[in-house]
């Protein structure tokens, strides 16, 4: 009973900790134009995704359209690419921090063609194959839950460090922007003062020439 209580508590803690990881199971329609999904991911994070075409028209004897998929890194490097398939899986470990984009489309589709796709997108600790890890390290029960919790804690720490670095970058950009705005405002004020002084000098000479003053 005590062991079950520990396991329940560990599972609850693990569920709370998994807020730092991402498990995104979505269903959406894909047309000839690319449908893209993006996510901001830090470095050294495992990403695993499964996709499959949903056959809604099977009862009507209609075959669904196959799709093409391409995944790119924040700097435009191709991480995965496939064409004219009904299902597949891609996995990679990130080497760059930024926006990762997965685009799906129907190749050579006629106007109005549409197909439904299921996408299971896992990031971080959620992407790990814990069953394989348990068999390899010969762990189970509480020890396995503790290993998952340790991974979740590490993911939380890495996320916090990533957010701190991003906050520092944004603060630096804000400071540089504020400095440039201040310099531009000073320059604009200086130009206005010089132009105003020139106008006053010109008006004074004009009135003097016309002997109005």
The parent domain of residue 18 ranges over 2-158
Number of neighbouring beta carbons within 10 Å of residue 23: 14
Q: For residue 205, is it within any domain?
A: no
Contact predicate 129/135, CB 8 Å: no
State pLDDT tens for residues 152-172: 777 777 778 878 888 888 899
Contact predicate 33/111, CB 8 Å: no
Q: For residue 10, is it within any domain?
A: yes
Dihedral sign from CA coordinates of 114, 117, 121, 127: negative
Work out the percent of the chain whose per-residue pLDDT is above 90.
23
- Determine the length of the chain: 213
CATH of residue 120's domain is: 2.60.120.380
State pLDDT tens for residues 25-79: 788 888 877 889 888 888 888 898 999 998 765 545 556 788 999 999 999 899 9
Asked if the model's pLDDT at residue 211 lies above 60, the reply is yes
Q: For residue 172, is it within any domain?
A: no
User: Vertex 153, ends 151 and 97: CA angle to 5°?
Assistant: 80
Burial (CB count within 10 angstroms: exposed 0-12, middle 13-18, buried 19+), residue 106: buried
Q: For residue 120, is it within any domain?
A: yes
Higher pLDDT, 118 or 6: 118
State pLDDT tens for residues 132-152: 766 777 777 777 777 777 777
Number of domains, the chain: 1
Q: For residue 154, is it within any domain?
A: yes
Q: For residue 135, is it within any domain?
A: yes
Q: For residue 62, is it within any domain?
A: yes
Q: For residue 25, is it within any domain?
A: yes
Closest CA to 31 of 67, 85, 72: 67
């Amino acid at each position: 009973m005590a062991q079950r209580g520990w396991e329940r508590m560990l599972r609850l803690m693990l569920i709370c900790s998994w807020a730092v990881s991402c498990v995104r199971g979505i269903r959406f329609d894909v047309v000839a134009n690319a449908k893209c999904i993006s996510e901001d991911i830090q470095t050294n994070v495992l990403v695993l995704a499964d996709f499959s075409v949903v056959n809604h028209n099977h009862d009507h004897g209609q075959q669904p359209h196959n799709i093409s998929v391409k995944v790119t890194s924040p700097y435009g490097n191709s991480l995965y690419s496939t064409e004219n398939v009904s299902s597949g899986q891609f996995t990679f470990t990130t080497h760059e921090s930024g926006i990762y984009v997965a685009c799906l489309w129907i190749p050579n589709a006629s106007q109005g063609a549409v197909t439904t796709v299921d996408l299971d997108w896992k990031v971080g600790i959620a992407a790990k194959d814990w069953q394989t890890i348990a068999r390899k390290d010969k762990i189970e029960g509480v020890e396995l839950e503790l290993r998952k919790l340790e991974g979740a804690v590490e993911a939380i720490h890495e996320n916090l460090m990533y957010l701190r670095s991003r906050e520092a970058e944004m603060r630096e950009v804000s400071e540089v922007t504020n400095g440039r705005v201040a310099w531009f405002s000073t320059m604009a004020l200086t130009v206005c003062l010089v132009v105003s002084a020139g106008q006053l000098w010109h008006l004074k000479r004009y009135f003097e020439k016309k002997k109005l003053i």
